[in-house]
Amino acid sequence: MNLMEQKYDLSGKIVVVTGATSGIGWHSALEFCRCGASVIGVGRNEDRCTHARAKILAQVPEAKIEYLVADLVSQREVRRLAEEIKKALQRQQAPGLDVLVNNAGTFVDRLTLTEDGIEKTVAVNHMAPFLLTQLLLPEMAARPDSRVITISSGSHYHTWLNPKRLRSPLLYNSLWAYKVSKLANVLFSAEFNRRHTGESPRAFAVDPGLVNTNIGFKGTGALARFVWRQRQKAGVDPSIPASTILFVAADPAALQSKAVYWYLSAPRQPSRAASNPQLATAVWQESARLCHLEK
């Protein structure tokens, strides 16, 4: 059966998808709505959120979909978003959160530090998912078989990182910063499962493959846009990785497997660095420190 033809009944489930105004995030939100879930999408721009919601309702008129606005470059905004999500759950009288899809991401072609003093690519792609997951953990722990899905990338292969330089690299290279952030996604997911063995939620990292999205056109220079345009032409439609996200979020087979890293709805072996438990622990500890968490 074609993966996009697989139908799951997610009635009564609550799903949060960050970066849900376009690309993989929007297609994921659409598929969750088609399966009957109540979806909370997150985007940076109110107008784009309104447009994205209207597009989903045009295809699924009965969809239970709302959007929240937050710029995940800021830890202050991530904390505010977590509180807004909790309020949304209360409005829906939901017993908890079933699925968190950490999809929002960025690519920056020059060294930029956030208001928290963290390199922007790592701040959005890794620190925001790390912090949002911790803040929503009680809501997810209240639900059986809940899942945290973080969108990584095959670019994490042949990559290494120094946890002590996670805040900001000694020498900046835009592509390397992106690769480091995606390696951190896999390490975070693996360490999360080690710290919560046998508990709910379960963490997964999804490799979307090369996808036709606009991530490389946002806030980048002419050279970066040119390179991304060439890559974009070879990319698959965002609905393809969205089907993997839906599979990992809904299929019992995903929970039965011990795999952390998934590609095309199947387990995939991550890199040697991503499979290093000592490195995962060190990244977790440094991330917690940079996010001002007690543990």
Instruction: Write the CATH number for 93.
Output: 3.40.50.720
Which of 67, 178, 261, 263 is flagged as catalytic? 178
Q: Which two structure tokens, joined as six digits, stand for 70?
A: 């937050």
Rounded to an integer, what distance in angstroms lies between the CA atom of residue 7 and that of residue 229? 34
Rounded to an integer, what distance in angstroms lies between the CA atom of residue 102 and that of residue 100? 6
What band does 7 get if pLDDT is binned at 50, 70 and 90? confident
The answer to whether position 264 is within a domain reads yes
Known catalytic membership, residue 263: no
What mean pLDDT value characterizes the chain? 92
Q: In terms of Cα–Cα distance, which of 118, 120, 81 is closest to 97?
A: 81
The answer to whether position 162 is within a domain reads yes
The answer to whether position 166 is within a domain reads yes
List pLDDT tens digits, range 12-32: 999 999 999 999 999 999 999
The answer to whether position 221 is within a domain reads no
The answer to whether position 217 is within a domain reads no
List pLDDT tens digits, range 138-150: 999 999 999 999 9
What band does 3 get if pLDDT is binned at 50, 70 and 90? very low
Question: pLDDT at position 236, please?
Answer: 79
What is the CB neighbour count within 10 angstroms for residue 20? 32
pLDDT > 70? residue 234: no
Say how many CA atoms lie within 13 Å of 8 toward its Cβ. 20
The answer to whether position 116 is within a domain reads yes
The answer to whether position 152 is within a domain reads yes
Q: How many helices (H) and strands (E) does the chain have?
A: 11, 8
The answer to whether position 2 is within a domain reads no
Structural domain containing residue 75:
7-210+237-290
The sign of the torsion formed by the CA atoms of 221, 227, 228, 232 equals positive
Per the structure, the count of domains in the chain is 1
